[in-house]
Amino acid sequence: MTLLIDIGNSRTKYILADLIDSNNSRVIDNDCIDVNWLDDNLRLADKILISCVSSNAILTLIINWANINVIEVKVIESEASRYGLVSFYQQPKKLGVDRWLAMIGALSLYSGKNILIVDAGTATTIDLVSASGQHHGGWILPGINLMIDSLLANTSKIEANKDVKPSLSFGDNTNTNVNNGCWGATIGAINLAMTQASKELGSIDEILLTGGNARYIKALLDDKSIIEDNLILHGLQRYKLD
């Protein structure tokens, strides 16, 4: 059985490749991954495909564990082109593999469409892919929590917590102002990205949302969008037979 593993900045998502369409992926905090957890959860695999944007410590741990247990491991990296996707980067390997795989996943699910992809996790990334499979670049901005943490860390008299329902309304206290301001900045960036994407391609057929904040963003966007929780894993699945 082939296991797909997406190691993010704070969490790791994994699923058996044959179950990708069941939406039964599992998630674990990176701090909880150790040899005992690997023994309990990954031993049934005979091949592991990995994408990693986190520290090399987790990746090294999994590779060493897999070698001991005679399990084949393949670590995916970004490329100039693959599966109909052509990178916009002059140095393709510098493109984050999470973005690369999200685009491959998007093309596999929505072939022949102009797609704007928003991955809203620790960072929020936005990428534009044309119906022909050409990547047209994108943006990277801090995720919601990073925005709030940065503001609080660099100011002396602003106090806020993150236990506020996402909203774009103007707040009547500092806590709401901080939270809603960060959501407003994120939604504003996505709306501006839609405008820019339309200028470049004429129209956008699909707006795909993934990542931990995808549901909140969908609720705040005026435009129709689709949540694809396993977009990166769908991209990983394409490498199954290589």
pTM of the model: 0.94
Q: Which amino acid would we find at residue 48? A: I
Measured CA to CA, the distance from residue 108 to residue 239 in angstroms comes to: 12
Confidence at residue 193, expressed as pLDDT on a 0 to 100 scale? 98
Confidence at residue 44, expressed as pLDDT on a 0 to 100 scale? 86
Q: Which of these is catalytic: 6, 31, 98, 205?
A: 98
Alpha carbon 34 to its chain's center: 23
Confidence at residue 161, expressed as pLDDT on a 0 to 100 scale? 87
Is residue 98 flagged as an active site residue?
Answer: yes
Q: Which two tokens stand for residue 133?
A: 């499979």
Confidence at residue 24, expressed as pLDDT on a 0 to 100 scale? 80
Among 209, 91, 188, CA closest to 141: 188
Q: pLDDT tens track of the chain, all 242 residues? A: 899 999 998 899 999 888 887 678 899 999 999 999 999 999 889 999 999 998 789 999 999 999 999 999 999 999 999 999 999 999 999 999 999 999 999 999 999 999 999 999 999 999 999 999 999 999 999 999 999 999 999 998 898 888 889 999 999 999 999 999 999 999 999 999 999 999 999 999 999 999 999 999 999 999 999 999 999 999 999 998 77
Measured CA to CA, the distance from residue 167 to residue 174 in angstroms comes to: 14
Measured CA to CA, the distance from residue 230 to residue 242 in angstroms comes to: 20
Domains identified in the chain and CATH numbers:
2-75 (3.30.420.40), 111-233 (3.30.420.40)
Longest CA–CA separation in the chain, Å:
59
Among 133, 130, 154, CA closest to 142: 154
Confidence at residue 25, expressed as pLDDT on a 0 to 100 scale? 87
Confidence at residue 22, expressed as pLDDT on a 0 to 100 scale? 64
